[in-house]
Amino acid sequence: MSVTLRVHDLTVAYGAISAVRGVSFSVEAGELVTIIGANGAGKTTVLNALCGLRTIRGGMIEIGGEDITDMPPHERVRRGVAQVPEGRRLFGRMSVAENLEIGGYTRSDSAGKRKDLDHVLDLFPRLKERYRQLAGTLSGGEQQMVAMGRALMCRPRFLLLDEPTMGLAPQIVDLVLDAVKRVNAEGVTVLLVEQNAYRALEIADRAFVLESGEISLTGAGPDLLNHPRVRSAYLGYDE
């Protein structure tokens, strides 16, 4: 089941420094929305606030019409919110199988988990080959597949992806983004933070540009892909 996210006047600070200031946006059920921006713009901070991993100073977060602003992270997972964090953060001394199993820790439906595991292994066939291998011994691309698979094992309604293509070879970037599109096409609402602005805007229904903790531009993905300011600042084109 898809879910709608609404963020109202979100403000997050690190001590006296405001990392995100008065950010408001929505992601409608079934959309694939991306946030682009330079390093330090506040993109990861926004995602961590949505997951409950960062205390907010002001504003409100709603998922499916429910106020989750003060809800602890594990309860947000139970509401269908899953994050694929920057850097993957796998349990390196545990197998691929064990990492995937952890993704479904809030669930008690064994048959459903088995079905979702089969879906993950269908999405990423390489994980079937590496199923009993320690996650820490995998390549970067394979680790990213495990991280995405782990998030999908909680059967999310809303998937947050933080820099999923960072440091990956071009062919693995294609594989990962194809998987993101497939998951979205299956009905999961996606919010994607991505340094590769061109690839992100190519697949996004809508996009936001975050600059110095504030949203400076919004629009459809293809429209921002051709916006002079975006092309100059993020795509390397001189206008």
Q: What percent of the chain is helix, strand and coil (3-state, nearest 5)?
A: 40, 25, 35
Look at strands 32-36 and 158-162 and give their pairing.
unpaired
Q: Which domains does the chain have, with CATH numbers?
A: 1-80+156-239 (3.40.50.300), 93-155 (no CATH)
Q: List the structure tokens of 207.
A: 């996009």
pLDDT of res. 162: 95
**Rounded CA separation 72/89 (Å):** 20
Using one digit for the tens of pLDDT, what is the confidence trace for 185-235?
A: 999 999 999 989 999 999 999 999 999 999 999 999 999 999 999 998 888
Using one digit for the tens of pLDDT, what is the confidence trace for 19-76?
A: 999 999 999 999 999 999 998 899 999 999 999 999 899 999 998 889 999 999 999 9
**Rounded CA separation 190/153 (Å):** 15
Q: Whole-structure pTM over 0.75, yes or no?
A: yes
Using one digit for the tens of pLDDT, what is the confidence trace for 103-120?
A: 887 788 889 899 999 999
Q: Can you tell me which residue has the tokens 């403000």?
A: 11
